[in-house]
Amino acid sequence: MGITFRKETFRDDFTFKNSPEHIRRFPFPFHEDSYMYAVNIEPHVLGPKGSVLENLIDVDEHYVAEMQDRALVLAEDPLRCQSLPHMTLAGWDLLELLMEQQAVGYPEHFTLSRDGDKWRWINRPLGIDDSFTFGDVSTLPYGPMEYITRQSQGDFCILDQRDGNLWMDAGMVTTQADWSLDFDIGMNFFEWHAPVPLAHEKGIFTRALKFLTNIQQGKPARRLNWTMTINPRLDTSPENYHKWGPDRATVTPENVGDKVHLRVELQSFWRLPRSNGIVFPIRCYLIKMDELVTQPKWARRLHRVIRDLPDELANYKGLTRYRRTLVEWLSKLDDGSPTSPGFGPD
Amino acid sequence: MSTGTTKLDVVVSDVVPVNELVTRFHFRRRDGQLLPTFSGGAHVVVEMRDGERTRLNPYSLMGSPLDTREYTISVRRDDVGRGGSLFMHRHVRPGMEMVISYPVNLFSLDLRARKHLMLAGGIGITPFMAQTAQLAAEGGNFELHYTCRTASLGTYADVLKDRYDRRVRLYHDDRDERIELDRLLSSQPLGTHLYVCGPSGMIGWVRDRAAALGWPTETVHFEHFAAPQPGAPFDVTLAVSGKTIRVGEQQSLLEAIEAAGVDPPYLCRGGVCGQCETNVIAHDGKFIHNDHWLSEEEHRCGKKIMPCVSRFEGRSLVLER
């Protein structure tokens, strides 16, 4: 068995799609017919088989293509991966976490063997078989964080914890929803969240920080966040705004189903044992409207959520330009009947 | 969003008297697996089944974070304390099965530091045992100043001297040796971080002098060993669970709440981490706040209490628990 990895692109000809099984496992983020910020954090524990929570670090059919896209982004812009000098130990913590989780979750694809500090890592989908000394940077082709995050889906921010705050001191960020690691590096929790509207006034960040600084080893937590993206583009960074920003003006009633994608981030938070830092994986899932509306409940609910979204939020998420076209298109799939509680399809 | 820690089932693998007051305890996992990796400065909470009573005391891990086959803690016997250390000294024997928490670090090294300057007083040496081991393995730059009452009570002073030689400086009270604090703090290279762990008088002294000499607060790190203070018994109503409890003289409010079958989250049990923060619904009397978590303003306005270390005197107290 094992995953059949798709050959697809997240740029140029945009051949990315989800298989029918992947549509059903999509982490739809709305548990009710409206949306407002909340500190929607819960323990990151295993979920049902066949869901994206079947393993705590999810690997799916897009793995190989996503890693190829990451390599392209890094070749053009090496500053998408940065680690301040005091963060190397945390990089080793992350390498251990991702190797262990991927090897446990997908033994047919990944194998980790450890003998003291002599480690061997086999990544079959990417054709990697490396032996190295844990803790010795000179035995790997990249620093520990870069090495393992070139082989792990999702963006990764490593946060240093000190002075009762969290500091964005390392990260691999190539699949982001319009924020820049190069801009945020070295900032604290309040500084890098400064652009978010409404949430500061609600005291959400103060409470969230208090929770995050108390995350304990062996007890990770998670939350979902969402936005929308035109075309299945992973790299919607400020650095490349000139490439993807204009896409938002290309949405027409005819192409909504193919072009408009719901973009969901499964964000998790883990205490790192040696460095006492926190790693914050941001795993991005994309689904185009044509795929999403194959689940009638999701179609009805998404229509109501986007229609009723406060303008500040719609603006912040960059939906304003095509929101009316999208709502119009979705409205045809909403007969007004009630939706069942919970996230999953009916 | 309760965030207590995961528990570890361990067996006591060794009990070693270190000197007339301090005994060291070794723990291994009952299933033979490795213990979780930890970082220097972390503590575990040890559960003690003392007859009817469960005691939960935090102790710093003092072994090397590089060796997770076993955890070690050192416990100083306190003959007039609340009984946790006496239980450890009198009842804990090799082979005994115990439960401890996952490690939690509230006294972490700042890994940006160019140099780590450590000041220890008495049993406050224990977190530095782990931190110096961690730094030494990475070629880190540290210097340890350790004050103890007498040479024979200088717990691990010999071990530290052997390991780190001139990087360790000892001061004995009975020989009238004192840390020349102002000179020490005035002669450090840029990028030095200061760590202090010991009696609260020592922590206060070091923090005050560091502030007076212009050390930025974010470069001064300290760990209070604040055991709950005994006091007069008092009654409390727990509004959410609908219970009325009495807090005994030697019991903390948190322990009394737990004894009634209500389990607030906790991590440090020493007034530092903020986990057990509890809302006050009504009160008629006076709070005795002993924590380092709530602000002075919060202490004054009487709307919150940290039940792990703080007490109450007066007619009635109603908590949101």
pLDDT at A270: 97
Asked if the model's pLDDT at residue B2 lies above 50, the reply is no
Is A216 close to B274, i.e. CB distance below 8 A? no
From the list A86, A87, A214, which residue is nearest B275 (CB)? A214
The position carrying tokens 């009634």 is: B260
Query: Among candidates A72, A18, A68, which has minimal Cα distance to A290?
Result: A18
Q: In angstroms, what CA-CA distances link B117 with B62, B120, B151, B184?
A: 18, 10, 22, 9
Percent of chain A residues past pLDDT 90, beyond the cut: 82
**Tokens, residue B129:** 């045992």
Chain B: residues touching A (Cβ < 8 Å)? 1, 3-6, 36-39, 41-42, 65, 102-105, 108-112, 138, 217-218, 267, 273-275
Query: Cβ of B274 and A217 within 8 Å?
Result: no
Where would I find the beta strands (DSSP E) of chain A?
Answer: 42-43, 81-83, 110-115, 118-123, 128-133, 155-162, 165-172, 221-230, 260-271, 278-288
CA distances from residue A174 to A124, A129, A139, A140, A264 in whole angstroms, order as listed: 23, 24, 25, 21, 15
Residue among B36, B105, B273 minimizing CB distance to A276: B105
Checking if the pLDDT of B201 tops 50, the result is yes
Q: Do A218 and B5 touch (CB under 8 A)?
A: yes
What is the predicted pLDDT for the residue at A92?
97
CA distance B232 to chain A (A): 32
Cα A84 to Cα A169: distance, rounded to the nearest angstrom: 6
Side chain identity at residue A102, one-letter code: Q
Task: Report which of residues A261 and B83 the model is more confident about.
Answer: A261
Q: Which of A225-239, A272-286, B53-67 shows the lowest mean pLDDT across its residues?
A: B53-67
CB nearest to A214's CB, from B3, B39, B103: B3
CA distance A250 to A234: 18
Query: Is the model's pLDDT at A91 over the cut of 70?
Result: yes
Q: Are A316 and A197 in contact (CB under 8 A)?
A: yes
> Is pLDDT of B1 > 70?
no
Q: What are phi and psi of B4, to 5 degrees?
A: -60, 175
Yes or no, beta carbons of B39 and A161 under 8 Å apart: no
pLDDT bracket for residue B54 (50, 70, 90):
confident
Helix, strand, coil percentages for chain A (3-state, nearest 5): 35, 20, 40
Give bridge partners of residue B318 from the DSSP assignment: B237, B282
What tens digit of pLDDT does each residue of B257-275 get?
Answer: 999 999 998 888 888 788 8
CA distance A150 to A250: 32
Structural domain spans, chain B: 7-105, 115-224, 234-319
Best residue of B1, B7, B294 to probe chain A, by most A CBs closer than 10 Å: B1
Class of domain B115-224: alpha beta
CB contact under 8 A, A218 and B42: no
Distance from the Cα of B96 to chain A's closest Cα (Å) equals 25
pLDDT-derived band at B226, boundaries 50, 70, 90: low
Specify which residues B23 forms β-bridges with: B17, B75
The percentage of chain A sitting over the pLDDT mark of 70, rounded to a whole number, equals 99
CB contact under 8 A, B38 and A210: no
- Non-local CB neighbours of A16 within 8 Å, separated by 6+ positions: A8, A9, A10, A62, A65, A232, A286
Nearest CA in chain A to B218: A163
Q: Do A217 and B3 touch (CB under 8 A)?
A: no
Distance from CA of A163 to the nearest CA of B (A): 6
Phi, psi of A146 (to 5 degrees): -65, -40
The catalytic site residues of A sit at 223
* Best of A137, A274, A275 to mutate (most B CBs within 10 Å, chain B): A274
Domain B234-319 -> CATH class = alpha beta
Note the pTM of the prediction, 2 decimals. 0.87
Q: Tell me the chain A residues in contact with residue B5 when contact means C-beta distances shorter than 8 Å.
A: 216-219
What is the nearest CA distance from A22 to chain B, expressed in angstroms?
Answer: 30
CB-CB neighbors (< 8 A) of A217 in chain B: 5-6, 36, 38, 102-104
For residue B189, the 8-state DSSP code is: P
A55 DSSP 8-state letter: S
User: Which of B102, B273, B274 lies nearest to residue A217, judging by beta carbons?
Assistant: B102
Q: In the prediction, which pLDDT does A38 show?
A: 67
**C-beta atoms of B274 and A210 within 8 A:** yes
Please determine, for residue B3, whether its predicted confidence score (pLDDT) is greater than 60: no
Residue B138 has pLDDT above 90, yes or no: no
**Cβ–Cβ below 8 Å for B218 and A163:** yes
Which among B3, B6, B109 is the nearest to A215, CB-wise?
B3
Instruction: Classify domain B7-105 at the CATH topology level.
Output: Elongation Factor Tu (Ef-tu); domain 3 (2.40.30)
* ipTM at complex level: 0.81
Arithmetic mean of pLDDT over chain B:
93
Which helix (H) or strand (E) segment holds residue B127: the answer is: helix B126-137
Asked if the Cβ–Cβ distance from A216 to B138 is below 8 Å, we say no
Contacts of B1 in chain A (CB under 8 A): 39, 41-42, 211
Q: What share of chain B is helix, strand, coil (3-state, %, to 5)?
A: 25, 35, 40
Identify the pLDDT of residue B132.
97
pLDDT, average across residues A268-284: 96
Q: Do A273 and B36 touch (CB under 8 A)?
A: yes
Residues of A in contact with B217 (CB under 8 A): 163
From B7, which residue of chain A is nearest by alpha-carbon distance? A218
Q: How sure is the predictor about A35, in pLDDT bands with cuts at 50, 70 and 90?
A: confident
| Closest among A272, A279, A265, A150 to A217, alpha carbons compared | A272
